[in-house]
Amino acid sequence: MEQLSKGLALKSVSKTFFGTKGYFTAVEDVSLELNNGEFLVLLGPGRCGKTVLLNMIIGLELCTSGHILYNGQEKTGYHPDFGMVFQNIALMPYMTVMENVEVPLKIRGVKKVLRRDTAQYYIELVGLNGFEKSYPYQLSGGMKQRVGIARAYVANPKVLIMDEPFGQLDAQTRYSMQNEILRIWETEKRTVIFVTNNIEEACYLGDRIILLSDRPATVKETYNVDLDRPRDMLSNKFLLLRKKISDNTDLAI
């Protein structure tokens, strides 16, 4: 009997592309179930197939084989319960912060006053009040990431998917954004799927870490992270987990 339970489940999901060099498998036989409210981290080396996997989850790509189920139903396209912060943020350069955050609401035909109020709530939640009228070129990398996060949250997704959102940030901003994302997650109580290639970041953020292999991406190991929050990156338990994962990775990530 197929799974009828609530939530997201991937069953032996694979993706093969056909290009100039023939067939190429980016994701192979990935199975996982998402727990409600959890912070799930997908950790894998560069170009292992993480974005391809997320694209299948959000519904931008179809699986070559396997199934993605949501609340017991086959999920083959976009579902409004899901939101995504893309790897390259992709803000509209000619729109202000407020206008960028409002885009998902505008698409849904939400009336202007409600749109403004909702967008304002999320702009404040990500710490950008005062920058509503700024344009993307006037913002730092971390601020642009915050706009991307506010824009994803404004559509009220039950599951927020983030594709290496802090990959382009300097170390200091990255640490502060990690704390920000945890604060927002604790305030909003949504389920998060967070992709990274950074082991320390995975150990700091995840309730559960799924370690992916090098190409094609397969599930190598699952770690349930039994560390209290806020986590201490220099505690023995943290460093032990970090080393355990590091010793199990395919490449230096």
Ligand X SMILES: Nc1ncnc2c1ncn2[C@@H]1O[C@H](COP(=O)(O)OP(=O)(O)OP(=O)(O)O)[C@@H](O)[C@H]1O
Cβ proximity to ligand X, 16 vs 71, nearer residue: 16
Cβ proximity to ligand X, 57 vs 97, nearer residue: 57
For 18, phi and psi rounded to 5 degrees?
Answer: -115, 115
Cβ proximity to ligand X, 44 vs 157, nearer residue: 44
Report how far residue 38's alpha carbon sits from residue 160's, in angstroms, rounded to the nearest whole number.
11
Binding mask 83-112 for Mg ion (x = CB under 5 A): ----x-------------------------
Cβ proximity to Mg ion, 53 vs 63, nearer residue: 53
Cβ proximity to ligand X, 87 vs 96, nearer residue: 87
Report how far residue 211's alpha carbon sits from residue 219's, in angstroms, rounded to the nearest whole number.
6
- Tell whether residue 55 is a contact of Mg ion (CB under 5 A): no
List, as one string, the DSSP characters of 52-94: HHHHHHHTSS--SEEEEEETTEE--S--TTEEEE-TT----TT
Cβ proximity to Mg ion, 26 vs 154, nearer residue: 26
Report how far residue 236's alpha carbon sits from residue 175's, in angstroms, rounded to the nearest whole number.
19
Nearest residue to Mg ion on Cβ basis: 51
Which residues are registered as beta bridge partners of 161?
84, 193
Nearest residue to ligand X on Cβ basis: 51
Footprint of ligand X on this chain (CB under 6 A)? 17, 19, 24, 26, 44, 46-52, 87, 164, 197
* Nearest distance, CB of residue 50 and ligand X, angstroms: 3
* Coil vs helix vs strand at 176: helix
Q: What is the DSSP code (8-state) at residue 35?
A: P
Which one of ligand X, Mg ion, none interacts with residue 49, CB within 5 to 8 A by kind? ligand X
Binding window for Mg ion (CB under 5 A); candidates: 51-59, 78-86, 111-119, 133-141 = 51-59
Q: State which H helix or E strand residue 6 sits in.
A: none
* Nearest distance, CB of residue 54 and ligand X, angstroms: 8
- Helix H, strand E, coil C: the string for 88-140 is CCCCCCCCCHHHHHHHHHHHCCCCHHHHHHHHHHHHHHCCCCCCCCCCHHHCC
Report how far residue 139's alpha carbon sits from residue 116's, in angstroms, rounded to the nearest whole number.
20
* Nearest distance, CB of residue 155 and ligand X, angstroms: 23
Q: Which of 14, 51, 100, 145 binds Mg ion (CB under 5 A)?
A: 51
| Chain contacts with Mg ion (rule: CB under 5 A) | 50-51, 87
